[in-house]
Chains A and B, each alone.
Chain A
């Protein structure tokens, strides 16, 4: 909403004209000022002139020689504009006058003709953008009049954001009322002197849908002469961002800006019948609106219609057929009240967000139509001539009663924390136009222009606004405490572990295109290939919700590889989305995903091996150590991964994720060269292992010995380790694998795995002799369980 200070001042006397102070008042009232500009222009030496003669230039086709009457004298100037004739009233800049932008007007020679001064366009005068022709002033202005007296400048203009709950503030008068409340100044009402009327109108109104249109007023005005509006009107509208059209249409826009009530003027002679019907559109009905677009109407659209055809989209835009134009003499002025939701939805349906929609969708004051109608009738009579025919036709089947809200006095203190007494509260509310009676509770009558106020809390907000939020106390309450929940601490631990392990965090969108999932090499039937679909995606890339974090991570690797950023290790923690038929919402577990490509970390100038699946298994070991969640890796070919270099991750007996090297075909599909390490784990099931209790380490000497076994090359070493542990007895303190190799002297298909075993008794020193049976038991069990043969034994 754009509001000019001079217009506001027509309704309220402000204690200041300082635009900064007024902007601060608007802000403090909850109307955020998004910009303040000062409209000023210089007109020194510009006067009104009348064109008395025009003749061609002897040497130029595109300009004419124009004789103008300046009141006490006349002279001839050269003019390049063609939008006027003899009799036009124009603005003439005399020689020596200074225009906006510092232009000094002189006497010029144009193709051999002297031209003293110039006839000005709007742009030259700095009051508008129009430069295609000269500014035409209304007839009747006396030649020689100082042009500066015709325009009310300078003016301060506020660009104000109006929240959707405040229809009343979408008007100059409403904003003036707020400023009056803020500064404690009286606010003048809109002039509602009933205009003189004669005769009887033949116009009739029928409301078929009183829910959509609770009130409809119509007024016939005849004898109008459609012409451009006077300068002051055009300037007001332009400043408010509305394009001037003609005196009748301009008045409807002007009154809308002033009162907040949208109006529409029909050319009554172009309305097929003089009965106006307000009804829902018929199926298949169409209407060409003022913007020239022919629209197919929806049966939910409310229309203004003659008995035969729709004339306009109610509360949104009129129709082109009944538009007021140059030849119009009889006008039907529609000022109605429409229900907000219908206008909002209809406007959205047709992609129309007009000034009328912006007001009706907020809920215009149902008391306004007669006021705005009177105001507009008087202005049309003044600007376009003509007179009202008969009284106002006012169809208002079920007038709404003013609401009364009970406000307990202590409610103000309970919600705001400041103690105000009934008289103070009453005084603040009265300044905003509320009627207040009683003591406790206060009986507050809500004016019809404030449909947003229906409850005590709403009144408390009014008190807070006017009392000033800055004047409320400042207190700092504390909650009961308890710290971070376990799941949040764990998320942070996982996060810190990944960062500490060299992985950088990315955020990717939760969307996925189904074809991205298809590139993951998953078998038919895999849940991840069946994503939840977004019903109204903005584009194909956002058509579905991710079922896995891997596409985002692989994209992340590729982007970095493409940009030559070398070794990359990324992770993301976020939700994936899986169908859950019958549940209120889909399943959306939190996952940790990681992916890396390039060499292992190390000095850049030394040879470094490529990352491989061991980076993934090592990361799982680190996660277990860092979070206390006992994760296990179990080798098993995973879809989308290298069949011999992938594994499941288990927590207890539950599979919670996969790790390994991405299958070369999948890596190729993502344009990733070399080995790609990746994994994805569900964080949902994680929990901290119960603290085992503190163990004091023994200082007694251990017994240490090594064993090397000859085992099948395909046997996971973990199985050998498990079998050694099973036979190692209670005092096997530590087992570390220190050598694994294949090749001579071993036979093909065999490998050697050597372990160092540490035994320690908590209470006494063990001796070598005790190891003989333990060693024998291990060798026997390894042989039986995994077919391992002790080497060098």
Chain B
């Protein structure tokens, strides 16, 4: 018969040995030495039923006391061991966080595309829509519909690239501006027309710092029943300030284009030097930004609008040029270089 004192002695022994158990299994085995099915504490619990009252009370108290003490201690020991094991694992898992990471793949949009979208968005916010047209275009839309005389030098083979298609050797060409889309759009839409046309245009130019045979232009057109040169001024001033910053001043100088009358050139004061003269503006304080004007009456007639009833303005701006000016890209041809060291600079 196990006495209460024996149980307490056993308990003290187990408790003393517990710190020596360094694995969960060793803790389990130690716990079982006292509390297992055939272990003394379990046997003592079984003997309680037949024990005399005097003994039962004391023994029962000891059984509960020892059971509680050992199981609590064993649980704590197991938790401590688990924590130590976790700490060891964490130590082992130390990672050099200065190593290059697992970055999600990310390419770069071309600077010309970025500026393209940005300019389009400025006009979309003013209620304009976006139109597109063919790059290989007829001479009719590229020249005739835009009031370009049959003998205009821009039609010469030295300036314009002609495409072998159809019978007329000078009937089909690579469009020299995005303006033909004006005519195509007006032929199929009634006023009011508020639209922009971003796109590729082509000239028969040898490649150098400021010329490439392909470049990008954005054409704008607003035709309504009371569009004035004042509207042209306000719209393009808004564009220049949105694109180059709200402090910018603009000036309009009279100019000449076959498809607009009156015509003008828009200059913006230099954002790099605030107009005092620097390399960006070639010391003039002003940057030539785009050509614009009131739509020539002959253009309206060609598309079936009555120039006595509607009026409108049009403008054309070089997208590449905007990108070069704002980002300080020194040469136009760099936009056509696939070198990743160039592409990666773009955002």
- A interface residues, Cβ below 8 angstroms from B: 27-30, 32, 163-166, 341, 344-345, 348, 413-418, 455, 457-458, 460-461, 464-465, 469-470, 472-485, 487-488, 492, 495-496, 498-511, 532-538, 542, 545, 555-556, 559-560, 563, 565, 568-571, 574-575, 577, 579-580, 584-586, 588, 601-605
B231 contacts A476, C-beta separation under 8 Å: yes
A475 contacts B234, C-beta separation under 8 Å: yes
Cross-chain contact of B254 among A164, A415, A461, A502 (Cβ < 8 A): A461
A499 contacts B222, C-beta separation under 8 Å: no
Q: Does B93 contact A (CB under 8 A)?
A: no
Alpha-carbon distance between A768 and B109 when the two chains are bound, in angstroms: 51
Alpha-carbon distance between A787 and B180 when the two chains are bound, in angstroms: 59
A485 contacts B129, C-beta separation under 8 Å: yes
A538 contacts B206, C-beta separation under 8 Å: yes
A532 contacts B165, C-beta separation under 8 Å: yes
A585 contacts B138, C-beta separation under 8 Å: yes
A476 contacts B235, C-beta separation under 8 Å: yes
Known contacts A460-B262, A577-B136, then 18 further A-B pairs from the complex at CB < 8 Å, ordered by chain A residue? A344-B151, A455-B297, A474-B237, A476-B234, A477-B126, A480-B194, A499-B107, A504-B343, A505-B110, A506-B110, A507-B110, A534-B163, A534-B174, A536-B161, A545-B163, A569-B105, A577-B135, A588-B135
Number of A-B pairs, beta carbon distance below 8 Å: 266
Cross-chain contact of B339 among A559, A575, A580 (Cβ < 8 A): A559
B234 contacts A565, C-beta separation under 8 Å: no
Cross-chain contact of A499 among B106, B112, B195 (Cβ < 8 A): B106
Alpha-carbon distance between A501 and B105 when the two chains are bound, in angstroms: 6
Range class of the B interface residue count: 35 or more
B192 contacts A559, C-beta separation under 8 Å: no
With A478-B126, A505-B107, A532-B136 in contact, do A555 and B338 touch (Cβ < 8 Å)?
Answer: yes
B151 contacts A510, C-beta separation under 8 Å: no
B168 to chain A, nearest CB (A): 11
With A483-B124, A538-B204 in contact, do A345 and B151 touch (Cβ < 8 Å)?
Answer: yes
B229 contacts A472, C-beta separation under 8 Å: yes
| B 186-202 contacts with A by CB, 8 A | 192, 194-195, 200, 202
A757 to chain B, nearest CB (A): 30
Please give, as numbers and ranges, the residues of chain A lying within 8 Å of B337 by CB-CB distance.
559
Q: Which residue of B lies closest to A464 (CB)?
A: B262
With A415-B228, A480-B127, A499-B109 in contact, do A164 and B256 touch (Cβ < 8 Å)?
Answer: yes
With A416-B229, A574-B200, A585-B138 in contact, do A479 and B151 touch (Cβ < 8 Å)?
Answer: no
B135 contacts A473, C-beta separation under 8 Å: no
Please give, as numbers and ranges, the residues of chain A lying within 8 Å of B192 by CB-CB distance.
479-480
A598 to chain B, nearest CB (A): 11
Binds A, one of B10-18, B63-71, B79-87, B95-103: B95-103
A28 contacts B165, C-beta separation under 8 Å: no
Q: Which residue of B lies closest to A562 (CB)?
A: B339
Alpha-carbon distance between A569 and B262 when the two chains are bound, in angstroms: 48
A649 to chain B, nearest CB (A): 20
A502 contacts B105, C-beta separation under 8 Å: yes
Cross-chain contact of A506 among B101, B106, B214, B343 (Cβ < 8 A): B343
Binds A, one of B36-44, B51-59, B152-160: B152-160
A32 contacts B265, C-beta separation under 8 Å: yes
B238 contacts A603, C-beta separation under 8 Å: no
- B interface residues, Cβ below 8 angstroms from A: 99-110, 112-113, 117, 120, 124, 126-132, 134-138, 149, 151, 153, 156-158, 161-166, 169, 172, 174, 192, 194-195, 200, 202, 204-206, 212-214, 222, 224, 226-231, 233-235, 237-238, 251-256, 261-265, 294, 296-297, 307, 311, 335-341, 343-344
With A484-B124, A499-B109, A510-B135 in contact, do A472 and B230 touch (Cβ < 8 Å)?
Answer: yes
Alpha-carbon distance between A388 and B99 when the two chains are bound, in angstroms: 94
Alpha-carbon distance between A502 and B107 when the two chains are bound, in angstroms: 4
Alpha-carbon distance between A345 and B166 when the two chains are bound, in angstroms: 25
Please give, as numbers and ranges, the residues of chain A lying within 8 Å of B108 by CB-CB distance.
499, 504-505
B7 to chain A, nearest CB (A): 50
Cross-chain contact of B107 among A165, A413, A473, A503 (Cβ < 8 A): A503
Please give, as numbers and ranges, the residues of chain B lying within 8 Å of A341 by CB-CB distance.
149, 151
Cross-chain contact of A492 among B117, B136, B256, B336 (Cβ < 8 A): B117
B291 to chain A, nearest CB (A): 11
B338 contacts A477, C-beta separation under 8 Å: no
Alpha-carbon distance between A460 and B311 when the two chains are bound, in angstroms: 13
Alpha-carbon distance between A366 and B194 when the two chains are bound, in angstroms: 43
B102 contacts A602, C-beta separation under 8 Å: yes
A417 contacts B336, C-beta separation under 8 Å: no
A166 contacts B106, C-beta separation under 8 Å: no
A477 contacts B137, C-beta separation under 8 Å: no
Q: List 18 A-B contacts (CB under 8 A).
A: A28-B254, A30-B253, A164-B256, A414-B226, A469-B252, A473-B230, A473-B233, A477-B235, A481-B127, A499-B108, A504-B343, A507-B112, A536-B161, A545-B163, A563-B339, A569-B105, A585-B136, A585-B172
Alpha-carbon distance between A499 and B344 when the two chains are bound, in angstroms: 11
Cross-chain contact of A532 among B163, B252, B338 (Cβ < 8 A): B163
B208 to chain A, nearest CB (A): 12
B241 to chain A, nearest CB (A): 11
B157 contacts A536, C-beta separation under 8 Å: yes
Q: Which residue of B lies closest to A559 (CB)?
A: B338
Alpha-carbon distance between A579 and B164 when the two chains are bound, in angstroms: 10
Please give, as numbers and ranges, the residues of chain B lying within 8 Å of A479 by CB-CB distance.
126-129, 192, 194-195, 222
Please give, as numbers and ranges, the residues of chain B lying within 8 Å of A488 by CB-CB distance.
120, 130, 132
Q: Which residue of B lies closest to A462 (CB)?
A: B262
Alpha-carbon distance between A508 and B213 when the two chains are bound, in angstroms: 11
Please give, as numbers and ranges, the residues of chain B lying within 8 Å of A165 by CB-CB distance.
256
Please give, as numbers and ranges, the residues of chain B lying within 8 Å of A476 by CB-CB distance.
126, 231, 234-235, 238
B107 contacts A470, C-beta separation under 8 Å: no
B96 to chain A, nearest CB (A): 10
Q: Which residue of A lies closest to B294 (CB)?
A: A415
Please give, as numbers and ranges, the residues of chain A lying within 8 Å of B233 by CB-CB distance.
469, 472-475
Alpha-carbon distance between A742 and B130 when the two chains are bound, in angstroms: 53
